[in-house]
Every structure is written in structure tokens, then in C-alpha cells.
């Protein structure tokens, strides 16, 4: 049902060009006006191809891969409960 997506951080020099042209390569999630970057998602199967195409654009400074989907989000509580030390 859901397609596999990978996140990309695209550092840009021109925000107007980025806003217009990055939609062709994937779904743009966020564009930072202050720091001049765009966070976008692309299909995982086309990640390398899309990265190469984005680096060829004249307004793109650098393309970085987001490792957010590889970070562990399920935590286990191996530590002892310390609430008894802080009771009044």
C-alpha cells in the first residue's frame, strides 16, 4: 500500500528555483528560507538516480541523504525506576 520513501536534504542557493523545480523529482516536505535547504522525499528505488540528477541542477549546492528512517524509535526500559528517590 505504501511505497518505500527515502529522505533527502537539498542545500540550495536560489529558493525560487528550488520551489519550482524540486517538485519534479519527489515530494517536497519543507523549504527553509533562512538556512536555504529543502527536505524532500523520493522513491527508494530511484534514490541514486535522483541524487545524481539533483546535483546537476545549477542552484543546488549539496545533496545529503537523511538517515531518519534508520534511527531506532522503539525504546526499552532497561534502567531501574528512580521515582522512589524523588518522592517528598
- At 43-63, the pLDDT tens digits run 999 999 999 999 999 999 999
pTM equals: 0.76
Quick check: is 80 in a domain? no
- CATH code of the domain in which 55 resides: 3.30.70.80
| Res 65 pLDDT > 90 | yes
Quick check: is 81 in a domain? no
At residue 44, φ and ψ (nearest 5 deg) are -65, -30
- At 68-80, the pLDDT tens digits run 877 877 777 777 7
- At 1-35, the pLDDT tens digits run 567 899 999 999 999 999 899 999 999 999 999 99
User: Residue 10 has what DSSP assignment?
Assistant: E
Question: Between the CA of residue 42 and those of 34, 55, 75, 77, 79, what are the distances in Å?
Answer: 23, 15, 28, 34, 38
As beta bridge partners, residue 27 has 41
Amino acid at each position: 500500500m505504501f511505497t518505500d520513501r527515502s529522505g533527502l536534504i537539498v542545500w540550495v542557493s536560489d529558493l525560487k528555483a528550488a520551489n519550482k523545480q524540486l517538485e519534479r523529482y519527489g515530494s517536497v516536505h519543507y523549504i527553509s528560507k533562512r538556512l536555504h535547504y529543502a527536505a524532500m522525499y523520493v522513491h527508494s528505488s530511484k534514490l541514486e538516480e535522483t541524487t545524481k540528477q539533483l546535483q546537476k541542477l545549477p542552484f543546488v549546492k549539496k545533496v545529503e541523504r537523511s538517515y531518519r528512517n534508520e534511527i531506532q524509535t522503539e525504546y526499552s526500559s532497561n534502567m531501574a525506576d528512580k521515582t522512589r528517590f524523588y518522592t517528598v
